[in-house]
Amino acid sequence: MADPQVEIGRSAPAEEAGQTSTYATASQWQLIRRKFRRHRLAVVSVWVLVLLYGMALFAQFLSPHDPFEFNDKLVGAPPMRVRIVEDNKLQRPFVYGYKRTVDFATMRRYYEVDPETKFVIRFFAKGFSYELWNLFPTDRHLLAAEDGGYLHLLGTDRLGRDMVARILYGARASLSIGLVGVLISFVLGLVIGGISGLVGGVVDDVIQRLIEIIRSFPTIPLWMALAAIVPKEWPQLWVYFGITIIVSLIGWTSLARVVRGKFLSLRDDDYVVAARLSGGGNAWIIRKHLLPAFASHVIASLTLAIPAMILAETALSFLGLGLRQPFISWGVLLQEAQNVRSVALMPWVFTPVLFIIVTVLAFNFVGDGMRDAADPYA
Amino acid sequence: MATYIVRRVFYMIPTLLVISFLSFLIMQAPPGDFLTSYIAELSASGEQVDLELVESLRATYGLDEPWYVQYWLWISRFVRGDFGTSFEWNVPVRELIGQRLALTIFISMLTLLFTWIVALAIGVYSAVYQYSIGDYIVTTIGFLGLATPNFMLALILMYIAFQVFGISVGGLFSPDYTNAPWTWGKFVDLMKHVWIPVIVIGTAGTASLIRVMRANLLDELKKPYVVTAQAKGVPAWRALFKYPFRVAINPFLSTIGWLLPALISGDIIVSVVLSLQTTGPLYYRALLSQDMFLAGGLLMLLAILTVIGTLLSDILLAWVDPRVRYE
Amino acid sequence: MTEKSAPTALSRAEISADVLLELKDLHTHFHTDDGLVRAVNGVDLTLRRGRTLGVVGESGCGKTILSRTVMRIVPEPPASISGHIFWHRQNGEIVDLATYPVKARQLREVRGKEISMIFQEPMSSFSPIHTIGNQIAEALLVHERVSKKEAQERTIEMIGMVGISQPDKRFHAYPFELSGGMRQRAMIAMALVCRPTLLIADEPTTALDVTVEAAILKLIKSLQAQLGMTVMIITHDLGVIAKMADDVAVMYLGKVVEQGPVEAIFDAPQHPYTRALLKSMPRLSNTGSRLEAIRGNVADPYTVLPGCAFFPRCGEGEQDRCTAAMPPLVEVGDDHLVRCVMREGVAHGRGSG
């Protein structure tokens, strides 16, 4: 009836339009970005992730030691502390070496800080040679101990390998599995969910039932079974992709649901109907109206799917069913930490867990922020 | 209501078929039939291979027949409760599984209970006192719980129990009771051990359920019917528990559909770390040694468990929510 | 403030036993992340027994918040309320509802028992998982010492009174089993089951079809007569006002800009905003001419400009006079008040009576 609610912005007098124009002309993505920025934890998490992926990308450059190199003098050594003061004087940053004593009754090694051996830390120093991204051969590293010294900032594992280097190398596998896995899930989810939502009818019913069934399967046993049938003879890279595919086989179902749900609800939305009535073709409507409308939702769901995949890889590798030595991933590193004894004796072999937790948290926060921002008009 | 239950049970049939098929596929997945690898393994370890036994097994499982005959033979026996023979242990799968499955169900139920009670209480608190200090603390712990891998939590708890209380917490029973028949004492002993796996398995689920409950309740608290109740002069606690809480609890009930598979998943990994006498370590070993009858049977049983759990939760949901019933 | 000295809705002589509710300098402010929203910003109103007050204004003018403030069901925080809500109780006692803490028992005793409310959205205003009967009877169980059986009987009687057929069967129905109009009737039953003295209807027909709307309005009127209630009806629809109200208050940005008897408001509107609202209302008599929209939007609630809030959209004002200070309410006729500097001269020219 006589709703005196008046129409907005543009037809209003000039000074009115001036006031509201910032809102009226902000695009959907501008609004999303604006809303995302309000979720401070999410913003911080984005930077944490940038940092983590940067670490993975420059793992070789950042590692002071070769992750496969055994240091038989320092087996299972605790982390070294960086010092800058010696004899009450400020020095270049350095670490002390360790003196080892072995209790032959228990075969336990004890490490004591040895002020006699001192390793000065050099920046951009020479170390083991590598090819950055298989492209640039070099032997420069961000940090390394001076001439042949040791720099184990996070200690060494049971075989005397540097934990810093191993965590950095492990980041490459663990962090990329999430991304690659999500990519596979994304394609599967988009295609299957899209078909389900667009075609509808019997096809939709069958796909929905199938998704329900897959989701009612306990994931870990299924993953374990699938991982167990990955042949042991496969080369490392194949195993890597095999595990990635296995991990992503479950993830697509939730994405397919999101996509289908959005398709169904949007298909009958007034503005889509309006577009169709004004003669828009199917492809045009999908590209122009549907995709922008749920792209943000899809990105949010994708982000939230990544941590589950990272955790899955970790769990499988931890159990020895996923990636295997000598391949390094965070899960593989945690195989070292399978029992309480190692927690008690060498707690530093657990540092990969901190990285896993931080990564998973960061993805969760970013995903949360995106989900909140996905609908900027809400 | 009755028609609803019948319909839901009817829906279970295709689900179970697909599950059995998937399990069978996984059993068949390792190269060669399991009998060949079994013989290879026996010969490798220098044991005598009983050719007669091998032949009879070959016939029983129809290994020379096409896959669908093998499937039929397997599934028709499975339905009758004959899950095949474990080649590693050389005993019927059923005997191996028996008590372990019961323990898995027991732990899962206990964990479910723990998860629901804790998540419900904390979720309600955190929604009602949104943005309070308590809410922030709980949310933070919740996020940490979600991000920490199950098995790590198990190790950390074991470590704490070991350091602080000086007790070794692996397993579900003290050595005295491990093989003892069931008595009250054994049950008490079980309860002394079971809390660690319950907490460990339950944490991730609890953390996400807290978020579900909090979000649901916050949604419901904004609904006009809450204002209606207020406008009627209903006291605050009653306006909370009679209306938004009751509505918010419904999607919460349906979470059992994914919670149960997650619990059983969690149980597998955690019980390997904590060496519990549940199905987890058995399944794990079966997979490692490619004892496929055992692995396939267990996978199938675990999946059936979750399907039944989901069915129960659906019935529960229909019972409390008229909208579901009338659909 | 200047409003303090302004007369209330009625001539002082008439403030007597027939006053039911008096709002004095009532403010409801919301403290949000984006700033302070003055949803209700200094309202003075008086409701007399047995009459119907219509509160009208565009979306966002604060009329809904005003009605909820009276019942103290706006969430506090983020809201904070100041001013007075003098409520004349059934037992003759006069209480100020604004002074009680938000969870006070005294407030609960008034809500649903003495003041009741019906809402705009009959579907979402009912809990989806409880039966209609359960939800209606609850008001009785909360406020009166009745047995469940008695509550059920009285509820069924009430359901019948609001014109729902087969009330004893409908008692057990869920909200989703009823039509929109039926749900609104059930809502009215829920509001009236304790026989309140004041019924606040917040856009009671906005969500309904026009045909149903007429029936619901008729029902409210007949029940008002039957039960001797006072009604406060909140709407953006002047048509509803014309059908229902005895007195009208026009709200703009948290303030009453004009109030008076319905005839005065319709026949001799004084405030430019009231006139603009009337022009935007379709009438049978002026078919052919275009409906006029009011320029612009309800202003941004976060920024408060000095002077008359309607000035930016008003065609009649004078920059200096209108933006100097918030104009006071001035009397321009019998019980007819307007908040506009352009009318001040008129006011002085006409005596009251």
Spatial separation of the C-alpha atoms in residues A258 and A254, rounded to whole Å = 6
Q: Could you tell me which of A283, A286, A254, A257 has the C-alpha nearest to residue A272?
A: A286
B130 φ, ψ to 5°?
Answer: -60, 140
Is 60 exceeded by the pLDDT of residue A67? Answer: yes
Which pLDDT score, from 0 to 100, does residue B167 have? 63
**Partners of chain B (3+ Cβ pairs below 8 A):** A, C
Percent above pLDDT 70 for chain C? 87
Within 10 Å of residue B14's Cβ, how many Cβ atoms?
A: 14
Is 60 exceeded by the pLDDT of residue C14? Answer: no
Read off the tokens for C245.
């109200």
CATH 3.90.870.40 assigned to domain B100-320? The reply is: no
Contact call for B257 and A343, based on CB within 8 A: no
Q: Model pTM greater than 0.80? A: no
Residue range B27-54: mean pLDDT, rounded: 69
Contact call for A6 and C236, based on CB within 8 A: no
Residue range C8-22: mean pLDDT, rounded: 60
Q: Which of residues 51-70 of B touch A (CB under 8 A)?
A: none
Q: Could you tell me which of A119, A59, A16 has the C-alpha nearest to residue C295?
A: A16
Q: DSSP class of residue C75? A: -
Which pLDDT score, from 0 to 100, does residue A92 have? 78
Candidate ranges B12-26, B103-117, B305-319, C203-217; pick with highest mean pLDDT: B103-117
Hey, what CATH topology would domain A166-373 get? MetI-like fold (1.10.3720)
Which pLDDT score, from 0 to 100, does residue C206 have? 79
Classify burial at A136, counting beta carbons within 10 Å of its beta carbon; exposed 0-12, middle 13-18, buried 19 or more: exposed
Is 80 exceeded by the pLDDT of residue C274? Answer: yes
CB contacts, 8 Å: C276 with chain A: 4
- Looking at residue A36, its amino acid is F
Percent above pLDDT 90 for chain C? 2
Residue A94 in contact with residue A83, Cβ under 8 Å?
yes
Which pLDDT score, from 0 to 100, does residue B34 have? 62
Where does the pLDDT of residue C287 fall: very low under 50, low under 70, confident under 90, or very high at 90 and above? low
Contact call for A225 and B287, based on CB within 8 A: yes
**Bridge pairing between strands C230-235 and C52-56:** parallel
Strand order through the sheet with C247-252: C115-118, C198-202, C230-235, C52-56, C247-252, C255-261, C336-338, C330-333
Q: Residue for token digits 């019933």?
A: B325
Contact call for C236 and A3, based on CB within 8 A: yes
H helix intervals, A278-329: 282-285, 291-318
Could you tell me if B45 lies within 8 Å of chain A, comparing CB atoms?
no
Q: What angle do CA A17, A21, A25 make, to 5 degrees?
A: 135
Contact call for B230 and C143, based on CB within 8 A: no
Q: Is A139 helix (H, G, I), strand (E, B) or coil?
A: strand
Contact call for C276 and A3, based on CB within 8 A: no
Is 80 exceeded by the pLDDT of residue A147? Answer: no
Is 60 exceeded by the pLDDT of residue A20? Answer: no
Where does the pLDDT of residue A378 fall: very low under 50, low under 70, confident under 90, or very high at 90 and above? low
Read off the tokens for A104.
């032959």
Q: Could you tell me which of C265, C263, C290, C264 has the C-alpha nearest to residue C279?
A: C290
Read off the tokens for C280.
């935007």
Which pLDDT score, from 0 to 100, does residue B47 have? 67
pLDDT tens for residues B233-243?
A: 888 788 888 88
Contact call for B227 and C121, based on CB within 8 A: no
Q: Where is pLDDT greater, at A107 or C203? A: C203
Within 10 Å of residue A51's Cβ, how many Cβ atoms?
A: 11
Contact call for A340 and B158, based on CB within 8 A: yes
CB contacts, 8 Å: B250 with chain C: 129
Q: Residue for token digits 């008076």?
A: C260
Selected residue of C32, C123, C124, C129 to mutate for chain B interface (largest B Cβ count, 10 A)? C129
Which residues fall within 8 angstroms of residue C97, CB to CB, at 6 or more apart? C70, C72, C85, C86, C87, C107, C110
Q: Where is pLDDT greater, at B324 or A48? A: A48
Q: Is A9 helix (H, G, I), strand (E, B) or coil?
A: helix
Q: How far is C112 from chain B (nearest CA, A)?
A: 4
pLDDT tens for residues B210-219?
A: 888 888 888 8
CATH 1.10.3720.10 residue ranges for chain B: 100-320
Q: Is A296 helix (H, G, I), strand (E, B) or coil?
A: helix
Is 60 exceeded by the pLDDT of residue C123? Answer: yes
Q: Which among C68, C139, C174 has the least Cβ separation from residue B232?
A: C139
CATH 1.10.3720.10 residue ranges for chain A: 166-373
Where does the pLDDT of residue C232 fall: very low under 50, low under 70, confident under 90, or very high at 90 and above? very high
Residue range B58-76: mean pLDDT, rounded: 78
Is 50 exceeded by the pLDDT of residue B245? Answer: yes
Which pLDDT score, from 0 to 100, does residue A5 have? 40
Spatial separation of the C-alpha atoms in residues C52 and C243, rounded to whole Å = 11
What are the boundaries of each domain within chain C?
271-350
Q: Which among A210, A219, A356 has the least Cβ separation from residue B265?
A: A219
pLDDT tens for residues A316-371?
A: 888 888 787 778 888 888 887 776 677 777 778 888 888 988 998 888 888 878 87
Q: Where is pLDDT greater, at B202 or A146? A: B202
Q: Which residue of C has its CA nearest to B318?
A: C129
Our CA dihedral for B17, B21, B24, B29, rounded to 10 degrees, sits at -170
DSSP, residue by residue, B136-183: HHHHHHHHHHHHS-HHHHHHHHHHHIIIII-----SSS-TTTTTSPP-
